[in-house]
Amino acid sequence: MKRVFKKLIFATIPFLLVGCGPTPTVTSDDKKAEQVDTNPDNNNNNGSAEENNNNNENNNNNNNNGSDEENNNGAHNHEWNNTYESDENNHWFKCKTCNEKKDEAAHDFNEWEVTNLGTLLNDSRYNVNNIKKRKCKVCGYEEKASILPEIRFTFDKNDTNKDFATKARSTDKTRPSVSGKISVTNVGEDMAITDAVATMKVRGNQTAGFDKKGLQIKFDKKQSMLGVNGGKKFKKWVLLADAKDTTISRTALGLTMAKGVIAENSKVFSCDYTPVSVYLNDEYWGMYMLADAKEVKEGRIKLDEPIIETKDENGKKVETPVTTTDIGYCFEMDYYAKNEPDKGADGDPTFSIDYGSYFNKNSFNIESCLANSGLGVVNTYTMNSDINDGPSNAHIDDKNSNQVKFIKNRLQALFTVLAEASKNNVAKDINDNNEVVSTTLSVKQTIEKNFDLNTWAEGFVINAVCLPPDVGYSSFYMSFDNTANGNKQLRFDNPWDFDSNFGNRRNFIEKPDEVSQSSGGWGGGSSFDPYFMDRTANMWLQLLGKLDFFMNDYVKPKWNAARENKTFEKMLGMLNVYYEYFDEEYDRNFKKWPTTQASDNNVGSYFNGDGVNSGELRKPFVNVNDRKQAQQETINWLTKRVNYLEKRWGNNRPSVTADK
Ligand SMILES: [Zn+2]
Ligand SMILES: [Zn+2]
């Protein structure tokens, strides 16, 4: 069976790579025709193609002499095609000259063949059997459908209403969590879960303002979920809604890309995922992406969180987190850091650094409404890993936590070292007290010493392809391992949050391969250079991108490795599978959630407190009814983007669209 699918992918991908979108309903496919016995009634079929053509001409000549009726009393000599035409229900032979059908009959299907994306894309990571297809024995027509796993959350109290999942706003200080049980159904026995104790709550910042909200699951006991992340067990999992993505594929695209760009031995963690259907108390709740929670844990974000183990008076093991500064730090560049103090015990520690005189809006030429509309460049950070030596919600620049103080001072020093190198071509280093000091190292040496450039190259490539409008704003993660075994280098980590990317956002980079004009909003009326990376409001990416050795020695090899392992072909192939198999899932989802709420007809402001904004998306991504067009545009956009970056960084490979 495997061989069949491998064959299929070669037959399928060219369709897609040519950019013609959803594979059309099969009408006449040569390969399928080969499987079909020649129709015995079709006398014209005995000759060569040339003879057939002659016959056609003769027929045409005959027809030109008058109408069919005059010639033959409505019964001209039909000349039947020798391949079947078909729609989703029937197959038939069509006359070459009129539209008469012959031998029309319902498809006679073989059994369903259950398979998965991994088999189609030759990638064992996507091993959930979530798609199926069957072939008509007669005409070869293929019916394709999804069999998405179902994640069913049932509340403990039957009378609990679903307010927790519908009422949350992006600015809510706390998100109520509801207790209940989770079952995973519509899967094989090996992946099924029955009534596992768990809680659920709404997750996310701005996205929590949409009707279809992201959800977080927290199991009582660690659970493996649908083979995600190699089947490792964790308590926390997330369900991403992709609420502003009419293709519900951007999370999948982004995370698939991350897996392809990030080297196997890289320190960068990227979340794994699989598409699912979600039910709350047996009510269908939509198509979601089940994904890893972005937490620092063995098997997820790779950082040491040293624990001191002692025993209490009864000999029972006691684990105490280390309170010195020699721990692993993971943090997010985060516009929303300012909201953390309001969350009380739920809040995370935050800190800020000062970009000082190195940041100058004019000299940096930043393209972002955030910078241009007075919000400036985000210099606040929220801890993702635990801080153990202060109040759990040690807030911006808390003076009582040495750990927060340490990472704040180290990041400040790292920024200064990078800015001196990039803006002034001056080499600086950092001493044990996190002070910037002079050095005999070269600029290149000092950057290579203080930054894990392989991880930054991975982050640079990922962001350059998918172009997140908000990469200078939030959901941008970095780590610093200050444990005894840590490399004490700043690293890019955990690529995250893809729903505005890949050309979804209006007034951003709509043309991924040529300069385009913005009409205001996000771009503040500027023109967009499609390269963007040297104008992003993300200071780290912008400053690194201006260092020639970083681009030549790190980014370009990383790009070429991603091309060699067919990362982008795989992404396009994945989109194709979504097109062909998930139709009913999309229909069901959009029946439940008929608008993205990021569309033109919603009034209000982006920052009005409920996350609903006045038109965040560009056409054709605005209206869920334009889904097919949106999927096609996503393919076109990605194809153009890859070809553009190939010209800039690559080895002149042929267009990704013409690869096969
Ligand atoms: Zn005819
Ligand atoms: Zn058929």
pLDDT per residue as tens digits for the range 39-55: 434 444 333 433 344 44
- What is the Rg, in whole angstroms, of the alpha carbon atoms belonging to the chain? 29
Ligand nearest to the CA of 96: 1
Ligand nearest to the CA of 80: 1
Ranges of H-type helices in 18-144: 30-35, 49-64, 68-72, 117-121
Query: Taking Cα atoms as reference points, which of 235, 252, 254 lies closest to residue 288?
Result: 252
Q: What is the rounded CA–CA span in Å between residue 562 and residue 541?
A: 19
Bigger pLDDT: 109 or 659?
A: 109
What is the pTM assigned to this prediction? 0.84
Q: What is the rounded CA–CA span in Å between residue 395 and residue 383?
A: 10
pLDDT per residue as tens digits for the range 254-273: 999 999 999 999 999 999 99
Ligand nearest to the CA of 59: 1
pLDDT per residue as tens digits for the range 415-424: 999 999 999 9
Ligand nearest to the CA of 90: 2
Measured in Å, residue 26 CA sits from the centre of ligand 2 at 10
Highest-confidence segment of 27-31, 73-77, 263-267: 263-267
Number of Cβ atoms within 10 Å of the Cβ of 77: 14
Measured in Å, residue 101 CA sits from the centre of ligand 2 at 14
The strand order across the sheet containing 490-493 reads: 350-352, 380-383, 328-333, 476-481, 490-493
Measured in Å, residue 472 CA sits from the centre of ligand 2 at 53
Measured in Å, residue 83 CA sits from the centre of ligand 2 at 11
Work out the pLDDT band at 487, boundaries 50, 70, 90: very high
pLDDT per residue as tens digits for the range 439-474: 999 999 999 999 999 999 999 999 999 999 888 888
Bigger pLDDT: 231 or 27?
A: 231
Q: What is the rounded CA–CA span in Å between residue 225 and residue 235?
A: 10
Sign of CA dihedral 58, 59, 60, 63: positive
Measured in Å, residue 76 CA sits from the centre of ligand 1 at 6
Measured in Å, residue 584 CA sits from the centre of ligand 2 at 21
Tokens at residue 489, please?
């280098």
Bigger pLDDT: 296 or 28?
A: 296
Ligand nearest to the CA of 100: 1
Measured in Å, residue 73 CA sits from the centre of ligand 1 at 12
pLDDT on residue 338: 85
pLDDT per residue as tens digits for the range 181-199: 999 999 999 999 999 999 9
Mean pLDDT on 507-519: 80
Burial class of residue 198, CB neighbours in 10 A (0-12, 13-18, 19+): buried
Give φ, ψ of 568 to 5 degrees: -80, -30
Measured in Å, residue 45 CA sits from the centre of ligand 2 at 20
Ligand nearest to the CA of 108: 2
Measured in Å, residue 26 CA sits from the centre of ligand 1 at 21
Measured in Å, residue 80 CA sits from the centre of ligand 2 at 17
Residues 383/349, Cβ–Cβ less than 8 Å = yes
pLDDT per residue as tens digits for the range 295-350: 999 999 989 878 888 888 888 988 888 889 999 999 999 988 888 887 777 788 99
Under DSSP, the state recorded for 356 is: G
pLDDT on residue 649: 97
